Chains A and B, each alone.
Chain A
Amino acid sequence: EAQVTQNPRYLITVTGKKLTVTCSQNMNHEYMSWYRQDPGLGLRQIYYSMNVEVTDKGDVPEGYKVSRKEKRNFPLILESPSPNQTSLYFCASSSGRGEGEQYFGPGTRLTVT
């Protein structure tokens, strides 16, 4: 089954404690992205990747890091989380360059206290 998976689905952590949210896709897609969803702000892109070892900043990259060492995986790293990073995070992948369906993961609900 074609899918995008994320882990964990829910996470409560404290300010400053490094965390990683994993994302994996089994569709051999080149393009992967991370978004955060906040009420009234829609989905805002954090980082995107065009292929292995090729990543770039989206609209809200501050406080986040990513890596793309393998085509299927695109982890999101928060090295020193802060309360303003409390949000719902979605990973997505697609085969098209700027077009075609984005396949979203199930989401990760992160709370930073």
Chain B
Amino acid sequence: GENVEQHPSTLSVQEGDSAVIKCTYSDSASNYFPWYKQELGKRPQLIIDIRSNVGEKKDQRIAVTLNKTAKHFSLHITETQPEDSAVYFCAASDTGSARQLTFGSGTQLTVLP
């Protein structure tokens, strides 16, 4: 089955700096890669996703890049703000399977004022 590894497990940045979280996946059949944000005590929520036919996707201060050859994808947050502090999860799935998502272990991002 799919295995998703996520690094780093914790990340602290100064407000205004950029943050990068990296994930690797094992199953070459995976073709959908979402990122979820979980604020303290709340449920995970989708913030951005990318499909394997696209190399990069941006949404305001958030971007995701995908390298299918290396089986690697990353989340980039620019101009970080205190409200970006949360746990971020990457995930991967094969849309030909009903199995839904395999998640990474999460990254605790802290944005220091």
- Seen from chain A, the residues whose Cβ lies within 8 Å of a Cβ on chain B are 31, 33, 35, 40-45, 48, 50, 56, 58-59, 90, 92, 94, 96-99, 101-102, 104-107
- The total of chain B residues at the interface (CB under 8 A) is 28
Partner of A98 from B43, B89, B93, B106 at Cβ < 8 Å: B93
A81 to chain B, nearest CB (A): 23
Q: Which residue of B lies closest to A43 (CB)?
A: B103
In the assembly, what is the distance between CA of A52 and CA of B71, in Å?
34
List of 6 A-B pairs having minimum Cβ-Cβ separation, nearest first = A104-B43, A98-B95, A42-B105, A43-B103, A98-B93, A99-B32
Which one of B12-20, B44-52, B56-64 contacts A?
A: B44-52
B92 to chain A, nearest CB (A): 10
A58 to chain B, nearest CB (A): 7
Q: Which residue of B lies closest to A32 (CB)?
A: B100
Known A31-B100, A35-B103, A44-B103; 16 more pairs at CB < 8 Å: A33-B101, A40-B105, A40-B106, A42-B105, A43-B44, A48-B98, A48-B100, A56-B98, A98-B95, A98-B97, A99-B32, A101-B34, A101-B46, A102-B34, A102-B101, A104-B43
In the assembly, what is the distance between CA of A90 and CA of B42, in Å?
11
